[in-house]
Structure 1
Amino acid sequence: MRSIVKGLVGLFTMLSLGLTPVLAQVRSVDPNTAIDADLAPLPQQDNGAPPPAEQNVTVDSNVYNEQTNTQAAVTANGTDPAAQAAAADESTVYQQDDLIGAAEGVFGKGAEGLAGLIEKILADQGKPNAYIAGREASGAFVVGLRYGSGTLFHKVEGQRQVYWTGPSVGFDVGGNAAKSFVLVYNLYDTQDIFKRFPAGEGAAYLVGGFTASYLRRGDTVLIPIRLGVGYRLGANIGYMKFTEKSNWLPF
């Protein structure tokens, strides 16, 4: 009898050990979840392939840098680079008020007709990038000679001393001394002033007691303004020769 009981106990123990894994795998299932599971997307299997790389966009560095620099310039200066370039061009020429003030320093403040003459020249010829303020002495018997000296004022290169001589043709006899103011156009190197400038094709101006003639060499144009009847329009016929030192020979 005891042996039978031991055998039953052993059999029960074996059955308990065999059912434990099965019971461990049994879990409760929600019927709604089980039905919706058929509609859910299947999970992706990891096959060892690397994830797709992000798409790279190629940017032209020159275009990017140009746009960045332009925006930085506008932000820093509060203006467009094109406007700055235009302002830079204006900074290389003399303005009307500056020229009238300089000419009045030569001929006297409020000289009648002077401002109107300069305004007319600038309207026709534009703004010069240099001018000469000086004095002249001349003598004439139909054909005259002229000697002068003064200071060249260049908007970019500053000041330097200049001298000039030249013959002229007029209609008076005698001699006198007076002051001279010369507008200079397209003089980009002050050394280029030291040449001979013959009378060029252009208008002669006469306003009040002032006269202005037109001389040209290449692209450089000189418009001397003189005061007095003795400095007649006939002075257009001739030339002005500029030197770095005083020279008594007019030719």
Structure 2
Amino acid sequence: MRALMTVIAALALGVPAPVMAQDRQTTDYGQPSEYSEPVDAYSQDEIVDAVSDFFGVTAEAAASALERVFSDLGRPVGYIAGEEVAGAAGIGLRYGEGYLTLRGLSERQKVYWRGPSIGFDAGGNASRVFVLVYNLDDVDRLYQRFPGVEGTAYFVAGLGVNYQRADDVTLAPIRSGVGLRAGANIGYLAYSRRRAWLPF
């Protein structure tokens, strides 16, 4: 009652009414709703630990590689951990497989990917790949082509990162492996439930 009387008095005097606690929507983290992130998302510490264990690098190296990703994209709702083989001499091919882990899914799902890469690549590699997944509210939306986002590739602490995006779903593959791949890689990757060999 006292709060209601305060609001009425403020309106009568032409003063903006105070915001009552129940009128202000906040997230579970105490931030206003406009700053909210997915509730079922992985924290930066969780991903740093997972990447460190997966690639066998120090937590400091993993944190350095992930700092820009979290700054650009925030917290992921899932990740894919797997391996791929790739090679290029003008036109390259890439094939991989791994397991998708999502918050809210009781079991991991097997995922395959493939695609061409066209550019000034040289050499070849076999890599472990850890893919951060954003805005995926339906697993079926993963199974499509994801073009690379121009200008997002970078290399930090022995790990290479780039972004892929399709239909508001963003993927951030992190790679480490043996071999040389330098230059402009402007291809796409197509993700699928089953293995396929044709990259086009």
TM-score (norm 1): 0.61
**Higher-helix-fraction structure:** 1
Secondary structure in structure 2 of the residue aligned to 1:140: strand
1:204–1:214 CA contact under 8 A, matched in 2: yes
What's 2:155 paired with? Answer: 206
Q: Distance in 2 between matches of 1:233 and 1:151?
A: 29
Superposition deviation, residue 89 in structure 1: 5.4
**Which residue identity lines up with residue 65 of structure 2 in the other structure?**
L
Q: CA RMSD in A?
A: 2.7
What's 1:33 paired with? Answer: none
Superposition deviation, residue 179 in structure 1: 0.4
Segments of structure 2 that go 5 or more residues without pairing to the other structure are 1-21
Q: Distance in 2 between matches of 1:90 and 1:218?
A: 18
Q: Percent identity?
A: 42
Specify whether residues 177 and 123 from structure 1 end up closer, same or farther in structure 2 by C-alpha distance, changes over 3 A only.
same
Q: Distance in 1 between matches of 2:37 and 2:182?
A: 35
Are 2:104 and 1:156 equivalent residues in the alignment? yes
TM-score (norm 2): 0.75
Superposition deviation, residue 132 in structure 1: 0.8
Are 2:89 and 1:141 equivalent residues in the alignment? yes
Structure number with greater Rg is 1
Q: Distance in 1 between matches of 2:132 and 2:139?
A: 14
**Higher-strand-fraction structure:** 2
Q: Distance in 2 between matches of 1:192 and 1:155?
A: 16
Specify whether residues 190 and 232 from structure 1 end up closer, same or farther in structure 2 by C-alpha distance, changes over 3 A only.
farther
Specify whether residues 113 and 139 from structure 1 end up closer, same or farther in structure 2 by C-alpha distance, changes over 3 A only.
same
Q: Distance in 1 between matches of 2:141 and 2:165?
A: 12
What's 1:105 paired with? Answer: 53
What's 1:32 paired with? Answer: none
1:132–1:150 CA contact under 8 A, matched in 2: yes
Superposition deviation, residue 111 in structure 1: 7.1
What's 1:239 paired with? Answer: 188
**Which residue identity lines up with residue 131 of structure 1 in the other structure?**
Y
Superposition deviation, residue 103 in structure 1: 1.3
1:211–1:232 CA contact under 8 A, matched in 2: no
Q: Distance in 2 between matches of 1:175 and 1:85?
A: 44
Higher relative contact order, chain-length normalized (CA < 8 Å, sep 6+): 2
What's 1:193 paired with? Answer: 142
Specify whether residues 94 and 231 from structure 1 end up closer, same or farther in structure 2 by C-alpha distance, changes over 3 A only.
farther
What's 1:250 paired with? Answer: 199
